[in-house]
Structure 1
Amino acid sequence: MSERAKGLWAKVQPGDVVVFYATGRGVIGYGVVEGRFESGEPLWPREREQGRAIWPYRIKIRVEKVFERPKPRPKGMLVAFAINKLGEEAFNELFW
């Protein structure tokens, strides 16, 4: 995550459940946060091209499930930022 999103990153805690969303596809799976860390190592293609970490705030996630078919994004699910809290109603719509 970028410097701009550091405040959101700092709120993520081990044990939090995260949902993976792909723009134009939908929800593709979920996982559990194992921890968060900072790294200056370039990871993504754009970072490698620039030779520096653009998104140094990272989250280690244990993937629990990748859906065979993407699920539609629930009405209450925001996707404007790198991390968004998913309300209980939206969570239940995806998983129950």
Structure 2
Amino acid sequence: MSETFILSIGKEAIVTALTVAAPILIVSMVVGLIISIFQAATQIQEQTLTFVPKMIAIIVIMLVLGPWMLKKLVYFTQVMLTNITSIVR
């Protein structure tokens, strides 16, 4: 087991985590920005106004992209489990 192999595993784990988390984070940021602009324009400073739409948007994104995220995570897990013999040696 070489350092290059370990670094490639770490890199693949980070890329997979970022790929799976990116849609949720991007949608949450966009919804938050839109609501912040709305709050600045209307002078409404209610905290729940930002929380509820973000949660709804995140739930919708997880329903839409959930199967794709699951496929990415299952593929990564399968690759790690098939490479476990190389790691143990």
Which one has a larger percent helix, Structure 1 or Structure 2? 2
The structure where strand makes up a greater share of residues is 1
TM bucket, shorter chain:
under 0.3
Structure with more relative contact order (C-alpha pairs < 8 Å, separation 6 or more): 2
TM-score (norm 2): 0.24
Taking structure 1 as the reference length, the TM-score comes to: 0.23
Larger Rg: 2
